[in-house]
Chain A
């Protein structure tokens, strides 16, 4: 006998290194993401429940949550529509300067957010290039929630474009032709055949833009004007608390944002899973 009968042949996976790679993934996520996040909980736990509640239910804090989540939501929504449009144009049509436009899409990633914030403020302030045109119409952009949304649209732009683009590129042309041969004209072909295939990447892009918007600080602080109760975003409030050495207060606000963002992303992932299920799963 060459092998002991007690030793059962272990079913081996064809892909090697599962244990090693999973171990590394968990370790890596721990030091990069999980431990810092736990730090927030630990720091916050220095507060009594009463103190915690007072901090997070303070009117100014609640207003800042509202501003942060609403402006991020609207910005992500606008990016959803126009990101799809831009991805569509970049994939479907050939035109001079296409490569340049394509690389412009990534600019908001590369540009320091403060630079973006300052330039947007300069342009949309009541005496700026665009601001002075809008002023007589009664539209104020800078130093209003509209301005915050604008800054968030700017920084969230690449997400939807870059998630939708590859999927749109891989769409089988024959599927649209099949719809045409079955009598569908352009709009119904788009709505019934193309759009459903794009929903998973659209949701991903939306979630990323939304999450990025909630945490965004640099570009917003300039254009928002930071008026308490009106245009003060939650991340700024956290900064303010930190500057006053109120670390526990800062982490308390952060904790609420963390939990809320996590729940929202979970919801979006669930929606995505639902729409993806039929197409991808076997």
Chain B
């Protein structure tokens, strides 16, 4: 195990920012630390870096306890949300900073900086000052600067938050391939699940200071372990009384159980479009949103509102139209757990044998 965290706690006044968090990370993995804003992700990252001191708990890097090691000596690279570049230094000096501090030789520094300039595609910009660069370029400088002293671990705090949408997408792909190329263990904080799903090898879902679940994006998506994760991941609708939905009347529910339904679990269409009419029920389209590659429908069934997708190839539905809604599956959520339930009526009641 490269990184190991045991029973970490940190509070600011009455606010418990990190609550008994434990996890391990393998060498070379790219980890996405995902959760809602103010959920303690950044604090966790800062504790790993040594910029905050935990109230209790242990951090091990390569099996060595680093709680009492100063941040300067932990061998960690940190990329800040707003890059925190040194405004009075040009790109070259920014990247060289960590090497100059270590009193490396001039020639050696020059070689390493040029290597990083090539790696980050910043060659030709070495004499520019940070205010003469675009957001994406600044991000690359921050990244190169953090990598220059060859850290063991790279921490990135909301690395794409301050960049506009198009560049962000490019940078994500770039960052993922670059980290794979260098093979450095990295943890990045984000509140954007698309970003985490796309970039991370493994995700840590953090909410209110607690670690909810750890696993690969696919694993977390298909098998959410807690009510929070089931609701947080995907664009889910919550149904308070799942017993009222067609097909799920006879499922056993615990007291206070709710259901979480993702758009991709729901099929909406005219009567002849739905494969298992007996498992479906009537609904009404409330709104139709154009989402670029598909349409998003807001559908009403009794008192419940569900979100569903519809392909642009299919005949368009109008708001107010009566439709048939088939719920393929849903997550039943009780206090702590989430269980997936398939629609039991989705079997053809009258099989025709030829």
Query: Interface-forming stretch among A113-121, A146-154, A182-190, A217-225?
Result: A182-190
Interfacial chain A residues near B145, Cβ < 8 Å: 178, 182
Report the nearest A residue to B81, measured CB to CB.
Answer: A174
Interfacial chain A residues near B149, Cβ < 8 Å: 182-183
Closest 4 CB pairs of A and B: A182-B98, A174-B84, A181-B78, A178-B84
Q: Are B146 and A193 in contact (CB under 8 A)?
A: no
| Cross-chain pairs A/B with CB under 8 angstroms, 22 sampled | A174-B84, A175-B85, A175-B86, A175-B87, A177-B51, A178-B86, A179-B86, A181-B71, A181-B77, A182-B145, A182-B146, A183-B98, A183-B102, A188-B101, A193-B86, A196-B86, A197-B88, A275-B88, A278-B87, A278-B90, A278-B129, A281-B131
Interfacial chain A residues near B49, Cβ < 8 Å: 181
In the complex, per-residue mask of B80-122: 1 if CB is within 8 Å of any chain A CB, else 0: 1110111110100000011001100000000000000000000
Report the nearest A residue to B145, measured CB to CB.
Answer: A182
B308 within 8 A of A: no
B72 within 8 A of A: yes
Enumerate A174-232 residues with CB–CB distance to B below 8 Å: 174-175, 177-185, 188, 192-193, 196-197
CA of A279 to CA of B132, assembled, Å: 10
In the complex, per-residue mask of A259-282: 1 if CB is within 8 Å of any chain B CB, else 0: 000000000000000010011111
Report the nearest B residue to A275, measured CB to CB.
Answer: B88
Report the nearest A residue to B71, measured CB to CB.
Answer: A180
Report the nearest B residue to A181, measured CB to CB.
Answer: B78
Q: Are B131 and A282 in contact (CB under 8 A)?
A: yes
Q: Are A278 and B102 in contact (CB under 8 A)?
A: no
Q: Are A172 and B82 in contact (CB under 8 A)?
A: yes
Interfacial chain A residues near B97, Cβ < 8 Å: 179, 182, 184, 192
Contacts A193-B86, A197-B87, A282-B132 hold; do A184 and B80 have CB atoms under 8 A apart?
Answer: no
CA of A188 to CA of B81, assembled, Å: 23
CA of A24 to CA of B331, assembled, Å: 72
Chain B interface residue count, CB cutoff 8 Å, equals: 28
CA of A181 to CA of B70, assembled, Å: 10
Interface size bracket, A side: 20 to 34
CA of A282 to CA of B349, assembled, Å: 72
Report the nearest B residue to A197, measured CB to CB.
Answer: B88
Interfacial chain B residues near A193, Cβ < 8 Å: 86
Instruction: Tally the A-B contacts, defined by beta carbons under 8 Å.
Output: 74
Interfacial chain A residues near B211, Cβ < 8 Å: none
Interfacial chain A residues near B81, Cβ < 8 Å: 174
B76 within 8 A of A: yes
Name the distance in Å between A192's Cβ and chain B's nearest Cβ. 8
Interfacial chain A residues near B86, Cβ < 8 Å: 175, 178-179, 192-193, 196
CA of A183 to CA of B78, assembled, Å: 11
Interfacial chain B residues near A175, Cβ < 8 Å: 84-87
Q: Are A184 and B84 in contact (CB under 8 A)?
A: no
Q: Are B88 and A279 in contact (CB under 8 A)?
A: yes
Interfacial chain B residues near A280, Cβ < 8 Å: 131
Report the nearest A residue to B76, measured CB to CB.
Answer: A181
* Residue in A174, A179, A185, A281 whose beta carbon sits within 8 Å of that of B82 in the complex: A174
Contacts A177-B84, A278-B88 hold; do A184 and B101 have CB atoms under 8 A apart?
Answer: yes
Name the distance in Å between B16's Cβ and chain A's nearest Cβ. 23
Interfacial chain A residues near B77, Cβ < 8 Å: 181
CA of A185 to CA of B81, assembled, Å: 22
CA of A180 to CA of B145, assembled, Å: 13
Most chain A CB atoms below 10 A, which of B82, B84, B146, B148: B84
Q: Are B88 and A182 in contact (CB under 8 A)?
A: no
Name the distance in Å between B332's Cβ and chain A's nearest Cβ. 44
Interfacial chain A residues near B72, Cβ < 8 Å: 180-181, 183-185
In the complex, per-residue mask of A37-55: 1 if CB is within 8 Å of any chain B CB, else 0: 0000000000000000000
Name the distance in Å between A27's Cβ and chain B's nearest Cβ. 36
CA of A182 to CA of B78, assembled, Å: 8
CA of A185 to CA of B51, assembled, Å: 13
Q: Are A279 and B98 in contact (CB under 8 A)?
A: no
Interfacial chain B residues near A196, Cβ < 8 Å: 86, 88
In the complex, per-residue mask of A67-101: 1 if CB is within 8 Å of any chain B CB, else 0: 00000000000000000000000000000000000
Interfacial chain B residues near A197, Cβ < 8 Å: 87-88
Interfacial chain A residues near B102, Cβ < 8 Å: 183
Interfacial chain A residues near B146, Cβ < 8 Å: 181-182
Enumerate B133-153 residues with CB–CB distance to A below 8 Å: 145-146, 148-149
CA of A33 to CA of B111, assembled, Å: 56
Q: Are B78 and A177 in contact (CB under 8 A)?
A: yes
Q: Are B101 and A178 in contact (CB under 8 A)?
A: no
* Residue in B51, B76, B87, B101 whose beta carbon sits within 8 Å of that of A279 in the complex: B87
Interfacial chain A residues near B101, Cβ < 8 Å: 179, 182-184, 188, 192
With A181-B49, A181-B146 given, can you name 11 additional A-B contacts, CB distance below 8 Å?
A180-B51, A180-B71, A181-B71, A181-B76, A182-B97, A182-B98, A184-B72, A184-B101, A193-B86, A278-B87, A279-B88
CA of A139 to CA of B252, assembled, Å: 95
CA of A180 to CA of B86, assembled, Å: 13
CA of A281 to CA of B87, assembled, Å: 11
Report the nearest B residue to A276, measured CB to CB.
Answer: B88
In the complex, per-residue mask of B189-202: 1 if CB is within 8 Å of any chain A CB, else 0: 00000000000000
